[in-house]
Amino acid sequence: SDRTSLGVDVDVSNGKELIIDKVQEHGLVADWNKLKPESQLRVNDVVVAVNGVKGNAELMTTEVANNQVLEFVVCRTTPKRMDTAVCHSWCDTNCVRGTFGKKLVSQ
């Protein structure tokens, strides 16, 4: 791909989600984290949807590889209440829908 890499390593072993293993120093995610400290992507965050594709890790990674515009829905369990995940939308620098850092709370 000729575009800047996302700069994350993901674990796809459960087949349903992308779990972030590593955020590299360079890439779209690192740039985003500097710009938006309140909604950073971190290790162990779970990407549950990419551009509306969800429930299939293989299809989600294909979506990442084949598209210039990405919108992720990312969930993080909170240490105080492991049964509650805080989710938000995340977009790369090309996202035109303006859903950066939108917080959704789901059970």
Confidence (pLDDT) at 2: 39
- How far are the Cα atoms of 30, 68, 80, 82, 106 from residue 50, in angstroms, in the given order? 18, 12, 27, 23, 18
Q: What is the pLDDT of residue 84?
A: 62
pLDDT tens readout for residues 18-36: 999 999 998 888 888 888 7
Whether the Cβ atoms of residue 64 and residue 7 lie closer than 8 Å to each other: no
Backbone angles phi, psi at 31, to 5 degrees: -65, -45
| 57 pLDDT more than 90 | yes
Q: What confidence score (pLDDT) does residue 27 get?
A: 84
Q: Is residue 58 part of a domain?
A: yes
Domain encompassing residue 17: 8-106
- Distances 64 to 52, 69, 107 between C-alpha atoms, Å: 12, 9, 27
pLDDT in tens, 63-105: 888 877 778 888 876 666 556 666 666 654 444 333 333 333 3
How many structural domains are present in the chain? 1
Residue 56 predicted with pLDDT over 90: yes
In a domain, 1, yes or no: no
